[in-house]
Amino acid sequence: MSLRFCASLLVVLALGNWCSAGAQTVVITAIAPGGFRAALDALILGFEEKTGYTVKPTYGSGNGTRQQIMHGEPFDVPVVQGTYADVIASGNVVATSGTPLASVAVGVAVRKGAPKPDISTPDAVKRLLLGVKSIAYPDPARGAGAGISFDQTLRTLGIYDQVQAKATRAQGGAEAMALTASGRVEVGLTYLSEMEDPGIDVVGPLPAAIAPPTPLVGFVSSHAKNPAAAKALLDYLTSPAARIVYRANRMLP
C-alpha cells in the first residue's frame, strides 16, 4: 500500500463521515498546476467526505493555468504557482483571500537502481549536469513551472548553453520521469511531487540556493458561484490533515 494512499485514507478516517444539510448539490470548481494534482486529488476525497460538497478540478501547466485564471475563466478556487501579483491585478481573484498552501522543489531522479549522484551543493549539481551525457526536464516553452525554474537554475550556475545540447525537453514531469525510468536519459528533473514513476529513484531536491521551492497559493475567485463553499475548500487545504498529504507528496506545507 503506497504512502500517498495511506495518507489519503488517514484523512478520511480522521474527519469522519458526516455531511452538512443540503450540501449535496454544491459543486466547487478548482484549477491548479499539474504539480499540485496528486495532493489535491487526495485532499478532495477528504473534503467531500467532510462536507458533502463535490469538487471538480482542472489541471494544466503552471503558466497555462495562470493564463486561464487571468483571462477570467470562472473557476471557484484557483491555485496559482509562483508569484501572483499579475493574477491579483487581473481582478479575477479576491485579493484578500490569498492563502499559502504549500511549496514544492525541483528534484533530481535517476533510473531505479542506478547510483545516486551528489546534489548536496550548487557545485556538486554543476559537476553532475556537466558530467552526464543526457537529461530530461519539463519543457518551459509549454508553460511547465518546473522547466521554467530549472532553466533559471542553469543560468544561475552559468551552464545553460552547455546543458541544452544534451537536454530533452519533455511534455511534462511524467514524461521526464518516464524517459529517466527507461534509461533514455541519465538524469531527470521535475517537481518532487511529480516523481511517481515506479521505475525511478528520487535523489532529492536541488539546493535552495540555486532552486528555491515554488510556492502554491489558493484564492477565492471573483466569479465564484458560492464564495463561502470556495472559502471552505481553501480552509481545508490548510488544515492539519492537508499537511499530512503535502508531506506524503514530497511538498512542504
Handedness of CA 181, 184, 186, 187 (dihedral sign): negative
Q: Does domain 3-103+214-248 have CATH number 3.40.190.10?
A: yes
Least confident among 10-14, 16-20, 121-125:
16-20
Domain ranges across the chain: 3-103+214-248, 106-205
CA–centroid distance for 54 within its chain: 22
Domains 3-103+214-248 and 106-205 share a fold: yes
> 236 phi and psi, to 5 degrees?
-65, -35
Ordered alpha helix ranges (H), 132-249: 145-157, 160-164, 173-182, 227-236, 240-248
State the chain's mean pLDDT as an integer.
92
pTM of the complete model: 0.84
**Residue listed under C-alpha cell 508569484:** 83
Positive or negative CA dihedral for 194, 196, 197, 201?
positive
CA geometry: angle 161, 125, 215, nearest 5 deg: 90
CATH class belonging to 106-205: alpha beta
- Cβ contacts of 90 within 8 Å, gap of 6 or more: 69, 70, 71, 72
Query: Does the pLDDT value for residue 22 go beyond 50?
Result: no
Report residue 25's pLDDT band, with 50, 70 and 90 as the boundaries. confident
